[in-house]
Amino acid sequence: MTRLRNLKANINIWWLLSTCFVCLIIIPNMSIFINIFNAPNDHFRHIQKYLLKNYLSNTTILMMGAGLLSIAIGVSLAWVVTMFDFPMKRFFRWALVLPLTIPTYIGAYTYHGLLNYTGLVQRFLRNQLGLQVNQVYFNMMSINGAIFIFTIFLYPYVFIITKSFLEKQSASLIETSRLLGKSHFVIFIKVILPICRGAIIGGTSLVVLEVLNDYGVANYYGIPTFSIAIFKTWFGMGDLDTVVKLSAILMLIIFVLLYVEKLLRGRKRYSYTTSKIQPLQPLKLNGWKKHLAMVVCILIFTLGFFIPLLQLIYWMAISYKNNVNIQVLKLSSTSFLVAFVTASIIIVIATIIANYSRISKGLLSKIYGRITVLGYSIPGAVIAIGVMIFFIGLDRTLYGVYTWFNPTTSKLILTTSIVMLIFAYIIRFLAIGFNPIESGFDKIGKTFHEASRVLGKRMTTTFFKVDMKMIQPAIISGFILIFVDVLKELPLTLLLRPFNFNTLATKTYEYANDEMIHEAAIPSLIIIGIGMLAMLILNKVSTKEVS
Amino acid sequence: MKTNSMIKMVSVLLGLIMLVTGCKINTEDKSTGQDKVITDDTAIDETQNDDEKESDKEQEKTIKEQVVNLYTDRHYDTDEALYNKFTEETGIQVNIVKGKSDELIERLVMEDADTHADLLITADAGRLHRAKTKGLLQTVENDALLKNVPVNLRDNDNQWFALTVRARVIVYAKDRIDPTELSTYADLTQEKWENRILVRSSTNIYNQSLLASFIAIGGEEKAKEWAKGIVGNMARKPQGNDRAQATAVVAGEGDLAIMNTYYIGKMLNSSDVEEVNVAEQVGIFFPDQDGQGTHINVSGMGLTKHSKHSENAIKLMKFLTGELAQEQYANANYEYPVNVNVEPSALLKSWGDFKAQDIDLSLLGEYNSKATRLFNEVDWQ
């Protein structure tokens, strides 16, 4: 009887906390969506007539293109790196994640900078070889160019998640298939793809959402997408009503995508069946296969990381004299600190909600799980406005409390502080932390949890003593992904930052936006440097986990 | 059990706060809606009372705090150097939030009377006008400032003042085009320019203001015809920024580009040799010299309606339109000074004098929305 009561009390804590967090996520967005059902006005009809079709088709092409290519590259690389042994494999295991450290808009600038008329490639052809080339072949600024940019800098989402799944999950299945004499190809198609389905879809959905949300690349390359439409309506026409409608359409698309994702993931659950997690024994590749594996890895690494890096280093070399004055150290420490704090808070919240949604079977918990993804799918600027309205309201409510402490205080305390920005980051990136933790829980299943509960341990004790230990790798990889994302984040930071607050990303943006891309090289390189360090740690952790 | 009840307490409290703020949001949403005039009366009364109560406190604070707070969409390092100089001279600290102008304006709207911002600086007269019509700015009647900024480069009610002037011109390939072939913006819609014109996308405010100026001068129909003509003559779909247009001219993708002059200045002084090369191969042509004049736009500033450090802000406005700062804008950023006592830099002079459009710059803001629609209608992406 006491046990039953304990159980109830415990569920309440998880439920209460989850509910609080979920409310905090919803409320700022509600203020935006509250007037969704207003009748369409003139602006909206105008957009419907002239633009909507184009926006939808461009956005769809970008999403499909980048999504499918990311699956092709991400999954095959994950497969090669986990199943086989070849020279430099240890390096590629983490190096292939590095493109993620380059913000897509920086990637877009570097590739255009490299390939355009004044870029290194054409300059070499023109000045050294005396060739005048047709610009068409070097034009990045098309929808194909944008698909390339999104794919080459975002495929690591698919790669990381699929790789870590393969490393920990599939040993027995794959080794059995090998024993039965199946070829690599057959194993890939018949075993790997089906069991990785959840991981692949999880990774791809991150890619697709990132594409949906993009502003920088589409704007620079001149591709009218849905995000651009939202910005254009809001700031060009100043019409919040229509923005809300467009956002609603976007949300609808996203919900359909997420629903399809759920359908695709299916109801199958693959969790450990024994307490012994057996790592997979990689096969040694020989002959041409060895070379092919290496060439593919080198090619992707070069395109997604090495070339942009070199381009940025070159820009830094020609511009560093102009901007040695920027306080690089201060920028870096601010960025680092903000990313660290945000990632820590998100991990705590994500773990709580994920755990609640795992132990409770109700519909509510499933809805909670979906809501955490909400922030990632709404354009940054929309979140920013919602959060700002919320905080200004909060400040006005709390004004009495403020004056109690300090009679001469101004009204906007939270709104002008870093709290608002971090709050917005949390809404935005909760999904990035939630996804790996949720799939971490998925993977360990409930066997151990239930065993512990049957043995009389309380829920909370079980959580800290059993579950936490097992999902540690998921927590760490979630943390690092959030960290890197916050480091790169732009629209929220631009809009919600307090006075005199600069991050590496905002500094990069300021230079790039003022068409001073050379000067943007130094802060970009530091973003990449810190990101690399984070990925190195991630690699250390996951290697330890496997061996 | 104790921790449990603690947690419950905290969550109930949180819930209450959210409820209250939720209600607040609703009422605010309404008051910013169309029934503003009616509901605002009481709101204004309230804020005025509040203001009076607070003004004493605020004054105390201003004496202590020698600061001025900026919302700006100018991100140049040269600007920051100017602010430092100002602090040196006056001891007034300049605090900055940088962002995109439209978003900063939205932020001001929401912060309303509670804003910390004293000065709004943006790179487009249309935006300044929008800020004015949203009631975010206030009139400044300061003799020195009025003297620094000529009448045509400031708001009718002195709610905003220009900082720098930019000209949107035709940039052409020197080796392929004889400048005598060029004449007006309207001429660019002729058949002879088919597949030869480069220009960036219509999401860009510079293009929107250009078209808005045509609406102001010749009416909507003519403006639409012009935009349609340009779309028909484009060498490629709009893409890239202003610098990219100049580069494409030199690369031979088109023969002329519509762009702002100061980018050529920046390219001529770039750390990249190849960019300097490109800039040297193009010429600058000021269109419409026999007619309405070349389209100009300004970057400018306005004192926010609820500024808490207005004296300091006005000091900064005087400083930025003063001779020292104006020279800096012209020399380091290649923009035209607004202060008539300041000569443009040698480079700017080398491009020659030009006649500028003589329209009320507020119209750029008034017709912005119309311009955006026209662009959509003629499929200028």
Examine the pLDDT at B22 and tell me if it is beyond 60.
no
Cα A27 to Cα A30: distance, rounded to the nearest angstrom = 5
Instruction: Name the minimum distance, in Å, from the CA of B339 to any CA of chain A.
Output: 24
Pairing of strands A84-85, B93-98: unpaired
Assign A70 a pLDDT band (cuts: 50, 70, 90). very high
Please, which residues bridge with residue B299 across strands? B164
The SS3 assignment for B299 reads strand
Judge residue A126's burial from the number of C-beta atoms within 10 Å of its C-beta, 0-12 exposed, 13-18 middle, 19 or more buried. middle
Q: Cβ–Cβ of A510/B75 closer than 8 Å? A: yes
Nearest chain B residue to A494 by CA distance is B99
Closest CA to B129 of B262, B373, B297: B297
CB burial string A424-437: b at 16+ within 10 A, e below: bbbbbbbbbbbbbb
Note whether B166 and B354 are within 8 A (CB): no
Closest CA to A436 of A328, A350, A374, A360: A350
Cα A268 to Cα A198: distance, rounded to the nearest angstrom = 9
Tokens 């109560």 appear where? B53
Average pLDDT over residues A385-404: 84
Q: What is the pLDDT of residue B48?
A: 44
The SS3 assignment for B259 reads strand
Tens digits of residue pLDDT in A432-459? 888 888 878 877 777 777 787 888 777 7
Among the partner-chain residues B240, B274, B376, the one whose CB lies closest to the CB of A222 is B240
Phi, psi of B212 (to 5 degrees): -60, -40
Q: Cβ–Cβ of A412/B114 closer than 8 Å? A: yes
Please, which residues bridge with residue A527 across strands? none
Cα A278 to Cα A168: distance, rounded to the nearest angstrom = 7
Q: Which pTM does this prediction carry?
A: 0.81
Alpha-carbon distances, residue B187 vs A250, B26, B230, B284, B303 (angstroms): 41, 52, 10, 16, 40
Report the Cα B376 to chain-centroid distance in Å: 22
Is the pLDDT higher at A272 or at A70?
A: A70
Cα A30 to Cα A340: distance, rounded to the nearest angstrom = 28
Instruction: Name the minimum distance, in Å, from the CA of B153 to any CA of chain A.
Output: 23
Q: What is the pLDDT of residue A10?
A: 55
B30 touches chain A (CB under 8 A): no
Cα B25 to Cα B165: distance, rounded to the nearest angstrom = 40
Q: What is the pLDDT of residue B20?
A: 42
Cα B368 to Cα A161: distance, rounded to the nearest angstrom = 46
Cα A312 to Cα A307: distance, rounded to the nearest angstrom = 9
A183-222 residues touching B, CB cutoff 8 A:
219-222
Assign A32 a pLDDT band (cuts: 50, 70, 90). low
Assign B1 a pLDDT band (cuts: 50, 70, 90). very low
Note whether B212 and B295 are within 8 A (CB): no
Cα B321 to Cα A168: distance, rounded to the nearest angstrom = 65
Mutate to test the interface with A, among B23, B56, B274, B333 (most CBs of A within 10 A): B274
Assign A3 a pLDDT band (cuts: 50, 70, 90). low
Q: Cβ–Cβ of B95/A499 closer than 8 Å? A: yes
A309-338 residues touching B, CB cutoff 8 A:
318-319, 321-323, 325-326
Please, which residues bridge with residue A433 across strands? none
Cα A32 to Cα A379: distance, rounded to the nearest angstrom = 12
A511 touches chain B (CB under 8 A): yes
Note whether B113 and B136 are within 8 A (CB): no
Alpha-carbon dihedral angle through residues A508, A513, A517, A521, given to the nearest 10 degrees: 0
Residue B235, token pair as written in the block: 């060498």
**CA dihedral sign, ordered A51, A57, A63, A66:** negative
The SS3 assignment for A268 reads coil
Residue B230, token pair as written in the block: 């340009």
Assign A545 a pLDDT band (cuts: 50, 70, 90). low
Alpha-carbon dihedral angle through residues A355, A358, A359, A365, given to the nearest 10 degrees: 90
Q: What is the pLDDT of residue B39?
A: 31
> Which one of A176-185, A214-223, A339-348, B234-243 scores highest in mean pLDDT?
A339-348
Average pLDDT over residues B344-363: 91
Assign A140 a pLDDT band (cuts: 50, 70, 90). confident
Opening angle at CA B230, ends B224 and B231, nearest 5: 90
Cα B65 to Cα B308: distance, rounded to the nearest angstrom = 10
B165-224 residues touching A, CB cutoff 8 A:
200-201, 203, 208
Nearest chain A residue to B206 by CA distance is A236
Cα A215 to Cα A382: distance, rounded to the nearest angstrom = 12
Phi, psi of B367 (to 5 degrees): -95, 10
Residue B200, token pair as written in the block: 């960036």
Instruction: Name the minimum distance, in Å, from the CA of A504 to any CA of chain B.
Output: 14
Tens digits of residue pLDDT in B39-70? 333 333 444 444 444 455 554 444 457 999 99
Note whether A150 and A209 are within 8 A (CB): no
B99 touches chain A (CB under 8 A): yes
A388 touches chain B (CB under 8 A): yes
CB burial string B297-320: b at 16+ within 10 A, e below: bbbbbbbbbbbbbbebbbbbbbbb
By percentage, how much of chain A surpasses pLDDT 70? 90
Q: What is the pLDDT of residue A26?
A: 82
Interface confidence, given as ipTM, is: 0.74
Please, which residues bridge with residue B283 across strands? B172
Instruction: Name the minimum distance, in Å, from the CA of A207 to any CA of chain B.
Output: 24
Nearest chain B residue to A417 by CA distance is B116
Tens digits of residue pLDDT in A478-519? 898 899 999 988 878 877 888 888 899 888 888 887 777 888
Residue B12, token pair as written in the block: 């109930």
Q: Cβ–Cβ of B240/A220 closer than 8 Å? A: yes
Examine the pLDDT at A284 and tell me if it is beyond 80.
yes
The SS3 assignment for B70 reads strand
Q: What is the pLDDT of residue A6?
A: 53
